[in-house]
Chains A and B, each alone.
Chain A
């Protein structure tokens, strides 16, 4: 079996992807059979075969919409990461700064983003910016928590040794604290990556010209549930794509870590 060794996500934990695929197939078969036997109306629940037909038919349009969604998701994710890097470095300067900022971050996470998202439309208009802000807010928390906790976990003896060698605080952050935090950081980034597409879609629901969110809103209003499901399928694909991308990045950024894990 060709093993996708860069994709070691939850799907093939244990090394095999077949059981998951079989389950999925059984689920679709049951769905298809249910819809046909019970003669459920397509505007209530379309059969998978119908969804697939729609998917193929609408593929060019869906591809165009997913482009803007993907762009928003990736930009928002990147914005969250950059903000996090800066903030984490600042918080490392002094325990007081960390103790001051960190609780605020936790509290900020309890603000329901869906309820303040409409404000972003008011502030930033209907362009890409408000969506990027929503994505960044959604992704920010898992990324910042994983990085800060990861940096705290750096071996203090290692930090001391580099201090004796004569390295400055910033150099020690770069040489020890950031690298030590990478495994935790990427774990957080994977969570954030799967949130990011959802964030972009929510942003688009509130008002946009392009994107899978818009496509879904229109389809829902017209009771075209086959299109909604087709869009959901694409969203899953886009999310998996981002996840795989992060996994690839993780392998490039920390070859030593995967070396160790294989042993």
Chain B
């Protein structure tokens, strides 16, 4: 089943009277259970596209279909992890991660119990009652990711979830992210700047041009899973990387 289908989506912003075309007709597709990455230069409109998918921004033209229909509210299909972690500073880790789940009126104690059981998977054991300000950057991102996963939607929209991490932590988190993905079987739509990361994680990669963004390359990554770090130097991997670098003109 197709979870996200975007057809010819375009968006132009007006900034102080100046016209800023951001998206110039994008067509993108995310199938159920798939890991799909979106890669493109900074400021090309990736976050804008995510805002359109979850209904925060209206597209100028084009079609947005979620779960095969275009009349379902986004919140029933997708769970969004914005670029900023946006944890509520006045809530503990435990109360933050259950926020999305509670929105649909689930009983608090049951949701809390589920969250407690999943703390080890997200490496947050012992921090249930800490406030976000007491956590490191990487931990905050894991809390935000846990909040997004716990919503139990069919699609996760992750906007640069590993953006604020150093290279070492990042590689470890990529492995771990695949583990989480395996665990929950949700489709993931993933924004990144990192070519290696996109190939390593994904089934599909969409490469965007600078603003106004168009899809300039759509790659299917059929490297076998489970994937490990050795893959990064595999010739097949490098061939894919070369293609993407060409498309991005770097």
Chain A residues with CB under 8 Å of chain B are: 155, 157-158, 160-167, 175-176, 179-180, 182, 254-257, 259-260, 263
Residues on A with beta carbons closer than 8 Å to the beta carbon of B245 = none
Closest Cβ of chain B to A46, distance in Å, is 50
Q: How many residues of B contact A (CB 8 A)?
A: 24
Contact A157 B131 (CB under 8 A): no
> How many A-B pairs fall under 8 Å by CB?
55
Residues on B with beta carbons closer than 8 Å to the beta carbon of A175 = 88, 99
Q: Please provide the chain B residues from 101 to 136 with a CB less than 8 Å away from any CB of chain A in the complex.
A: 103-104, 131, 133-134
Contact B75 A161 (CB under 8 A): no
Pick the contact of A158: B78, B88, B100, B131 (CB < 8 A). Answer: B88
Pick the contact of B86: A161, A163, A182, A255 (CB < 8 A). Answer: A161
Closest Cβ of chain B to A35, distance in Å, is 53
Give CA–CA (A2, B86) in the complex, Å: 38
Question: Secondary structure of the A side of the interface?
Answer: helix
Contact A256 B86 (CB under 8 A): no
With A259-B131, A260-B131, A260-B133 as known contacts, state yes or no: A165 contacts B86, CB within 8 Å: no
Closest Cβ of chain B to A118, distance in Å, is 44
Closest Cβ of chain B to A116, distance in Å, is 39
Q: Which residue of A lies closest to B132 (CB)?
A: A256
Q: Please provide the chain B residues from 42 to 101 with a CB less than 8 Å away from any CB of chain A in the complex.
A: 54-56, 73-75, 78-80, 82, 84, 86, 88-91, 99-100
Contact B89 A256 (CB under 8 A): yes
Residues on A with beta carbons closer than 8 Å to the beta carbon of B75 = 164-166
Contact A161 B133 (CB under 8 A): no
Contact B80 A161 (CB under 8 A): yes
Contact A166 B104 (CB under 8 A): yes
Residues on B with beta carbons closer than 8 Å to the beta carbon of A155 = 86
Closest Cβ of chain B to A176, distance in Å, is 7
Contact B55 A164 (CB under 8 A): yes
Contact A166 B103 (CB under 8 A): yes
With A161-B80, A182-B90 as known contacts, state yes or no: A167 contacts B103, CB within 8 Å: yes
B207 touches A (CB below 8 Å): no
Chain B residues with CB under 8 Å of chain A are: 54-56, 73-75, 78-80, 82, 84, 86, 88-91, 99-100, 103-104, 131, 133-134, 151
Residues on A with beta carbons closer than 8 Å to the beta carbon of B73 = 166
24 contacts between A and B (CB under 8 A): A161-B82, A164-B54, A164-B56, A164-B74, A164-B80, A165-B99, A165-B100, A165-B151, A166-B103, A166-B104, A167-B103, A176-B88, A179-B88, A182-B90, A254-B90, A255-B131, A256-B131, A259-B131, A259-B133, A259-B134, A260-B89, A260-B133, A263-B133, A263-B134
Contact B86 A158 (CB under 8 A): yes
Contact B90 A256 (CB under 8 A): yes
Residues on A with beta carbons closer than 8 Å to the beta carbon of B133 = 256, 259-260, 263
Give CA–CA (A104, B160) in the complex, Å: 45
Closest Cβ of chain B to A261, distance in Å, is 9
Residues on B with beta carbons closer than 8 Å to the beta carbon of A254 = 90
Pick the contact of A157: B86, B90, B99, B100 (CB < 8 A). Answer: B86
Q: Which residue of A lies closest to B101 (CB)?
A: A165
Give CA–CA (A166, B153) in the complex, Å: 12
Residues on A with beta carbons closer than 8 Å to the beta carbon of B84 = 157
Give CA–CA (A179, B95) in the complex, Å: 14
Pick the contact of A165: B90, B103, B131 (CB < 8 A). Answer: B103
Given contacts A164-B75, A256-B90, 19 further A-B pairs with CB under 8 A are A158-B86, A161-B80, A161-B82, A162-B99, A164-B54, A164-B55, A164-B80, A165-B75, A165-B100, A166-B73, A166-B75, A175-B88, A179-B88, A254-B90, A255-B131, A256-B89, A257-B89, A259-B134, A263-B133
